[in-house]
Amino acid sequence: MLTEVVFDVETKTFFDEAGTLDPSKLGVSIVSLYARKLDKNLKEIEGKMLSFWEREFEKPFKFPHFDILAKIKEATGRRTSLHSLAKATLGTQKIDSGGNAIRYWNKGDVKSLNLLKRYCEKDVEITRDIYDYGLKNNILKFTDYWNNPREVGVDFSRHPNNETFVPQQSLF
């Protein structure tokens, strides 16, 4: 049996407001994660969504991971967005934007924080589904900067010592 965690982090501020390109200076408002167990055929047996607000962080956490968007950039030489991958690969889309996530955090009322949590959790679901698609089909689809449909081959093989799994850059 294999345990996986798919996660997304929302920050409290923009890079230009923080005056740095160091992600650890942006602050973290919420972390949502989907923890699941897979059988030997990589079929999900059980899974659970969890979300943690800033006040619930006791210690910074780091674990081996790889970044799907970084894999796309590595393969194509250009960045793409989770929204573009979701739309082309899954036929779905993100429900909001990272800019609004920061606004929701700054507003701080119950309605805004619920919107922030829902947005972060939905990004986790989309990331999980994109990962599963890439694992099964060895390709991901997206629309490039010039609005052209693209496909890129991906290898999400599990190799414990694979350079694909790198230490997480701290956001805390």
Please report the pLDDT score of residue 144 as a whole number.
87
CA angle at 171 for the pair 164 and 15, rounded to the nearest 5°: 110
pLDDT at 60: 52
Those residues with Cβ within 8 angstroms of residue 134's Cβ, 6 or more apart along the chain or in another chain: 68, 89, 140, 154, 156
What pLDDT is attached to residue 160? Answer: 47
pLDDT on residue 165: 45
- The reported pLDDT for the residue numbered 134 is 93
pLDDT digits (tens, 9 = 90+) for 119-138: 999 999 999 999 999 999 99
Pairing mode of beta strands 28-38, 44-53:
antiparallel
Would you state the pLDDT for residue 106?
95
Torsion of CA 154, 160, 163, 166, to 10 degrees: 100
Q: Look up the pTM and report it.
A: 0.83
Residues of the chain short of pLDDT 50, as ranges, are 159-172
What is the pLDDT at residue 31?
Answer: 92
Taking alpha carbons only, the member of 9, 12, 6, 4 closest to residue 104 is 12
What would the two tokens of residue 59 be?
């210690």
